[in-house]
Structure 1
Amino acid sequence: MTVRAYHENSKHRPERYALGPGRLDWANQPDPWRSYAGAPRVVLPLAADACETRYNDLRRGRLPVAAPLDRAHIGLLFELSLALSAWKEFGGTRWALRCNPSSGNLHPTEAYLIVPALPDVAAGVYHYSSREHVLEQRAGATNEWDAAFRGRALLVALSSIHWREAWKYGMRAYRYCQHDCGHAIAAVSLAAAALGWRARVLDEVGDDDVARLAGLDREADFGTAEREVPDVLMLIGDAQAVVDVDLLGVLSARCAWQGQASRLSTGHVHWHEIDDVQAAVHKPRTAPEAVADLPTFPAPSEPTLDLCVAALVRQRRSALAFDGVSGMTAEAFFALLDAVLPRQGVPPWSACASRPQVHLALLVHRVTGLDPGLYILLRDAAVLDELRAALRADWLWHKVGPTHLPLYLLIPYDLRASAQLVCCHQEIAADSCFALGMLGRFGLAQREPWRYPALFRECGMIGQALYLEAEAAALRGTGIGCYFDDSMHELLGLAGSEWQSLYHFTVGVPTEDARLSSLPPYSGRQL
């Protein structure tokens, strides 16, 4: 089976790492921004400072009154999700940071806006360019276009350019592209909620639908440029809004398409393993996922910092190192974990209909009032017996924390050395307050291969939530894609292949590098 073969072959192991480039070919480092030459541009305003929505309101499901669907608020949707958050500078070199996290800051995710006629935005298809915060109009729509949108709604399509990650990470890059897509789904969902809009992944559409609507299947528009693969289609707007994807698909063929995709590198390394798994997981049209009947939880406790969404998403960073000394309180720890439990109507979890398939194995190091040790957080308490049977038989499974929080202590023990070993010997996993691995139901992908990327995307969504929760707790987080898969399984005593560790993360008190200068994201914007 292609998916299983790719997953096994892309595992890092203590005796050997998954195949990579060997060295970084700096002359062919991919351009982090795609553009479409010849496509008309729509300048988006910068208005994040005017957004007053508080993050704690969103994590408790309290959305503001819905904003109008217009150019100004579409600009704010992207500014709070996929735009630049800052520039960093060191030794004469500058690089951009974005609101959405990315493995190695390589940003394989591209975004497309598909809209009816709106104030200051003509109906059609647009590519979002974060570098200047503009829309590039890829297609002008026909008169029938608006009939496909019932209710106040727009679509956002996400795609991946695998080469951006493979340039640095080789075979394992496919995993990271899906993590980044999940980061972006969560970022867009939270930004939409900050505007009072609902965001939902249209899980029934197929990859061909996404490619057709975003213009990714137009070979002549790409030429020798790196191709993009379709990921997901998100419906954003009123809770009851509906979009006729079939009609849009028909009408897209009648659109006046424009723009030529930019080439990102002059040379490339072909990773056939990525092409093979991408072909194997190609998603057809499917029945809509049954909406999960999630339990009703009390609202999570308030975080340490009561920040507005705009400030929080723009200050989010990936920690480069932790101090190895400082801890966090048990109350802050419980509140952070509580916020990654899926709740009805609470973003970003409201973007997905199905039950959670990813749970957290936590290695707690420095949480005041809590024993160091190995813990499990079940994001769906219904899997307790199944996971308990899959893990080592003599674990304690001692319930800790708030009554409603499905958090269990497996063994009290200092696991800092184990955390560092599992995470490719990286000190950041041991110097934190806690580290974790995300256990996904890999068996789903063995039965329906198109669910394989969806598992990584769910991990990415959790990662984005952890990033923001860490910032709100006056801490910092960082995603860890380099870990020894089976070493984590051995630590847990995990038997069989139904569950696999798919993403790692760590949270702590960061040490800052004073040599780096930080600059505003769009100062002196030239268009």
Structure 2
Amino acid sequence: MDAAATAFAYHDRTKHRLDRYAAGPGSLDWDAQPNPFRHWSDTARLALDRRTGTAPAGVPDLAGIAWLLRHAAAVTAWKQYGPARWSLRAHPSSGNLHPTETWLCARGIAGLADGLYHYQAEDHSLELRADLAAEPEAGPSLHLAYSSVAWREAWKYGERAFRYCQLDMGHVLGALAYAAALLGWRPRLLTPGADELAACLGLDRAADYAGVEPEEAEAAVCLFGAPAMPRFSRWHGRPGLLDGNPMYRWPVIDEVAAATRGRLPPLPAGPAEVPAGVAAETLLRRRSAQAFDGRSELPVTAFRRLLGTLAGAAGSPAWALWTYAARVHPVLFVHRVEGLAPGLYCLPRSEAGLAGLAGAMRREFAWTPADPELPLYKLVGAKAERTARTVSCHQDIASQCAFSVMFVAEFAGPVGADPAAWRHLHWEAGLLGHALTLAAEAEGWRGTGIGCFFDDADQELLGLADDRYRVIYHYAVGMAVDDARLSTLPAYD
């Protein structure tokens, strides 16, 4: 089976259906959850400044790095219920399982010795992984890179877990874009091949990872200096084991990971200016809603600002980082938006998306313009709380919200041409989700991702008869109801 066929087969195999869910573990022991923090032993460790407050100005230095990671990848709070205690982070994660690992490559950065570092979110520190190779002509540079530990998600979600790793990667990139914008930094996505990035981060050093969970190379970003990733010479440390007694194996995840390795296409030029996005306090107080009140109406002015963020009209920092043509488009269940009739709406993010979706969806959809400025179209008017709940795996959050979203990807064409696009489409959907959740938080509302949905039921609802388009993510925004039984504790002592 070729790589594209493997990607398509994985996507089909991991659908949730109305009569059965994708293959997963038969039971869970939360006391045996994989460690959400990977520690590297037998290496030097550097504690970072944990202060928040005003972003430090100027070119990247150690203070700026500490601030960036604190607002883009760190623990933001701990929750506790009885003896159970779990962390929240600056970016959401499917099931709060956090498969993503963050890496930092520094050369000539004030206050920081040159090298490759693993970022440790549990205590906000850097763990030295490798020394830089001698390159006398190289100038100062700073890069971030990311890898995924699929087992953290597969422990709970089984075969569907690799989808969630990729959606998480989009949220991680979004968190970075927003935090960097507040520093005045302009991150640039890089396009290394998967094998090249794995070698750069030492993820291909089989002896180092013997007996522990492997990591999958994902993405790299240049924050400062030359875009080329540095080379490393001497390696340090041993990665910690996350799960000493895994009960299941999901080999299909290894198959789709291999099939979808590749590089991002060349990056189009971005805007001349990068907007600030939201306040730093918003990045730290972001939470994923666990329940909505089912009553509150979202003001239409706030609704329009949220949709403007998705469409690109509001100048989100996400679209200064991800400058590719839009290939993922929101379809909305509107339940409770002031002055807007309940129903199904579509927000195509490009002219091509509008033409393609209008030709692929149900013929009876009206496509009535619903906003004087945004490309919002009313497809059908109806109260659809029950339908939204049903297609979102019968979850109340999809019906008790102000609106929920199905992110529809241009699918068969991109993935058939380049199987790595399967990952990149999920990254784009995760970026959209992150832009939406921060915009909602800034308005005093809250968002939450919904990774569990019935794939074919979505397709039938929209009249999508083939794989030209596929729903790959759900999201919801509403007025959150907090669980009074939970205690909130500071991120760091």
Check whether TM > 0.5.
yes
State the TM bucket, normalised to the shorter chain. over 0.9
Cα shift at 1:289: 3.7
- 1:8 corresponding residue in structure 2: 12
The change in CA–CA distance for 1:179 and 1:472 in structure 2 (over 3 A counts) is same
Unaligned runs of 5+ in 1: 53-65, 301-305
- Name the stretch that deviates more: 432-441 or 486-495: 486-495
TM-score, normalising length: structure 2: 0.95
CA contact (8 A) 1:342 1:356 kept: no
Secondary structure of the structure 2 residue equivalent to 1:340: helix
Deviations 1:199-229 (A, max 9, x none): 1211x31001211121111112212110000
The answer on 1:467 being equivalent to 2:437 is yes
CA contact (8 A) 1:307 1:472 kept: no
Deviations 1:407-449 (A, max 9, x none): 1000111010100000000111001100110001112112210
The answer on 1:281 being equivalent to 2:250 is no
Aligned AA for 2:208? D
The answer on 1:167 being equivalent to 2:155 is yes
Cα distance between partner residues in 1 of 2:387 and 2:138: 54
- 2:427 corresponding residue in structure 1: 457
TM-score, normalising length: structure 1: 0.89
- 1:303 corresponding residue in structure 2: none
Q: What are the residue-to-residue correspondences of 1:383-422 with 2, within 5 Å?
A: 383-403=353-373, 405-422=374-391
- 2:194 corresponding residue in structure 1: 207
Secondary structure of the structure 2 residue equivalent to 1:87: strand
The change in CA–CA distance for 1:423 and 1:286 in structure 2 (over 3 A counts) is closer
- Name the stretch that deviates more: 113-122 or 361-370: 113-122
- Corresponding residue to 1:364 among 295, 313, 334: 334
- Name the stretch that deviates more: 513-522 or 380-389: 380-389
Aligned AA for 1:288? P
The change in CA–CA distance for 1:232 and 1:147 in structure 2 (over 3 A counts) is farther
The change in CA–CA distance for 1:102 and 1:130 in structure 2 (over 3 A counts) is same
CA contact (8 A) 1:481 1:504 kept: yes
The change in CA–CA distance for 1:397 and 1:215 in structure 2 (over 3 A counts) is same
Secondary structure of the structure 2 residue equivalent to 1:49: coil
The answer on 1:180 being equivalent to 2:177 is no
Secondary structure of the structure 1 residue equivalent to 2:476: strand
Cα distance between partner residues in 2 of 1:401 and 1:48: 39
Cα distance between partner residues in 1 of 2:201 and 2:401: 41
- 1:143 corresponding residue in structure 2: 134
Cα shift at 1:452: 0.4
Cα distance between partner residues in 1 of 2:71 and 2:310: 20
Cα distance between partner residues in 2 of 1:345 and 1:423: 30
- 1:243 corresponding residue in structure 2: 227
- 1:194 corresponding residue in structure 2: 182
CA contact (8 A) 2:109 2:141 kept: no
Cα shift at 1:310: 2.1
- 2:452 corresponding residue in structure 1: 482
Aligned AA for 2:408? L
The answer on 1:227 being equivalent to 2:211 is no
Cα distance between partner residues in 2 of 1:505 and 1:511: 17
Cα shift at 1:517: 0.7
Cα shift at 1:4: 0.8
- 1:327 corresponding residue in structure 2: 297
The change in CA–CA distance for 1:344 and 1:421 in structure 2 (over 3 A counts) is closer
Cα shift at 1:158: 0.5
Secondary structure of the structure 2 residue equivalent to 1:360: strand
- Corresponding residue to 1:438 among 407, 423, 446: 407
Cα shift at 1:401: 1.7
- Corresponding residue to 1:355 among 325, 348, 372: 325
The change in CA–CA distance for 1:307 and 1:212 in structure 2 (over 3 A counts) is closer
- 1:98 corresponding residue in structure 2: 89
- 2:241 corresponding residue in structure 1: 263
Cα distance between partner residues in 2 of 1:309 and 1:214: 32
CA RMSD of aligned residues (A): 2.1
Cα shift at 1:290: 4.0
The count of aligned residue pairs is 487
The answer on 1:68 being equivalent to 2:59 is yes
Aligned AA for 1:383? G
Cα shift at 1:142: 3.2
- Percent identity, aligned pairs only, is 42
Secondary structure of the structure 1 residue equivalent to 2:304: helix
Cα shift at 1:27: 5.0
CA contact (8 A) 1:160 1:177 kept: yes
Deviations 1:219-252 (A, max 9, x none): 1221211000000011113xxx43234xx3xx32
CA contact (8 A) 2:68 2:180 kept: yes
Cα shift at 1:179: 0.7
- 1:156 corresponding residue in structure 2: 144
CA contact (8 A) 1:343 1:350 kept: no
Deviations 1:282-314 (A, max 9, x none): 21x57624447x9x9xx99xxxxx996321011
Cα distance between partner residues in 1 of 2:58 and 2:51: 13
Deviations 1:347-391 (A, max 9, x none): 111112311110000000000100100000111233211110000
The change in CA–CA distance for 1:320 and 1:286 in structure 2 (over 3 A counts) is closer
Aligned AA for 1:21? P
Aligned AA for 2:390? L
Cα distance between partner residues in 2 of 1:25 and 1:514: 25
Cα shift at 1:344: 10
- 2:398 corresponding residue in structure 1: 429
Cα shift at 1:256: 1.4
- Name the stretch that deviates more: 308-317 or 469-478: 308-317
The change in CA–CA distance for 1:232 and 1:148 in structure 2 (over 3 A counts) is farther
